[in-house]
Structure 1
Amino acid sequence: MDEEEDLETYGEQLYALIYPKHKENAGKLTGMLLELPCPVLSQILLDEAMLNTAVDKAFRALQLTRETSKITSKDEDDVSTSSDSLGEQLFELVDVYNTGHSQKITGMLLEQHQEAVLHLLSDRKLLEEQVNSALKTLQEQKEEETDISDSSDVDDSDRLGEKLFSLVEQLDPLHANDITGMLLEIEPASLQQLLKDHTMLEEAVQRAQSALDT
């Protein structure tokens, strides 16, 4: 309930600040900005420059949404929107959310079919859902990278060795120690690939077995 009351208060304050310059669109622009996190809204209300930037972004996004709605309402033959143009329009809309990852999220969303991207440009609710989903994916990737890189190289080697040994042991219990030692001499990046790709690992183990037999 507190958050709803906060949003209502923010909404009233934002509307009062936006109305003098954007009388016709004050309501829509206020609604767009209210989709931002509360801490960001609080900062925007205290910083006039930040407010102006956010309003400008929202206004450009609103214009793009209207233009795109006109495009999507035409026959498909008339829609000759290039990938670059779509990317620019999508970036403007994504940038409104101040995620700090506008470029990456735009790239992720552009991997969809052109029709799906056009739909995103005209449907703000759907866009917001996909932006949040993409942001969550990026955060999860970052956490995984942190998990891998937050310890020392020695710890990394130990963990890789343990993981590799458990996999090699399933393929060749008798020579697991020797084969693991040989594979650990490979570049870390290639080693990571082996751990992810079972077929590659099997081939590497077979090569190591051949080397042991000679």
Structure 2
Amino acid sequence: MNKEEDLETLGEQLYSLIYPNQKENAGKLTGMLLELPGPVVRQMLHDEAMLAAAVEKALRAVQLPQEPSKATCKDEDDASISSDSLGDQLFGLVDVYNTGHSQKITGMLLEQHKDAVLNLLSNPRLLEEQVNLALKTLKDENVEETDISDSSDADDTEKLGEKLFSLVKEMDPLRANDITGMLLEMDPAVLQQLLCDQSMLEVAVQKAQAALDS
């Protein structure tokens, strides 16, 4: 099966799961979620809680751009005053792409003129281009780091494990070791997703706790 057929199959499966609860936005949400790494999408197909969290995040992103336009109809000052609100809205959209660098990329995009940022909020294609460009810039800046980590998968897993352990320890100090070990059996792309999505991590930790309790 080639990559396009694989993506089409994943899209059909995702759409059939999303449609019952999100009839109006099913197509748009499916398209957004298909931007995620393949292993993450496959994991979502078998994990209702993970899918629900991703759909909720994508839905927020779909709805957010409509809010500034309503505000500008009533009072243009509303949109110009709240650069914090602009940042929150932009972060919500950038976070959907699950790059692992949502905060950095949002910061980079917010350095543009406010009109350009507002344009990003209402133009998903332009936003995607800018996110990819910012991600490329970040990767280029970290060339040496990447080279070092790529030299050894074991080092990579160890770093992931350390980050996970520190987060899991806050939720379950007594069983942090066991839970981290269980989570490290997941696909690395899914683990990266857990590290940058607190709600998804909580779901995964709860499942591991339930497995340990049983």
Normalising to structure 2: TM-score of the pair?
A: 0.62
Aligned to 1:36: 36
Q: 1:97 to 1:72 in 2, by over 3 A?
A: farther
Report deviation, 1:15.
0.8
Q: 1:143 to 1:30 in 2, by over 3 A?
A: same
Q: 1:146 to 1:57 in 2, by over 3 A?
A: closer
Q: Based on CA coordinates, which of the two structures has the bigger radius of gyration? A: 1
Deviations 1:185-208 (A, max 9, x none): xxxxxxxxxxxxxxxxxxxxxxxx
Aligned 1:1-214 pairs, distance under 5 A? 2-71=2-71, 79-144=79-144
Deviations 1:118-147 (A, max 9, x none): 000000001011111111111111114567
Aligned to 1:159: none
Q: 1:68 to 1:3 in 2, by over 3 A?
A: farther
Give the structure, 1 or 2, with the largest relative contact order (CA under 8 Å, sep 6 or more): 2
Distance 1:133 1:73 in 2: 32
Report deviation, 1:75.
8.1
Question: Residues 69 and 122 of structure 1 are in contact (CA less than 8 Å); yes or no, is this contact kept in structure 2?
Answer: no
Deviations 1:28-71 (A, max 9, x none): 11111122232322222232222111101100000002224445
CA RMSD across the alignment: 2.6
- Percent of pairs identical after alignment? 75
Q: 1:33 to 1:147 in 2, by over 3 A?
A: closer
Aligned length: 150
Normalising to structure 1: TM-score of the pair?
A: 0.62
Q: Which amino acid is 1:33 matched to?
A: L
Distance 2:11 2:107 in 1: 31
Question: Residues 105 and 131 of structure 1 are in contact (CA less than 8 Å); yes or no, is this contact kept in structure 2?
Answer: yes
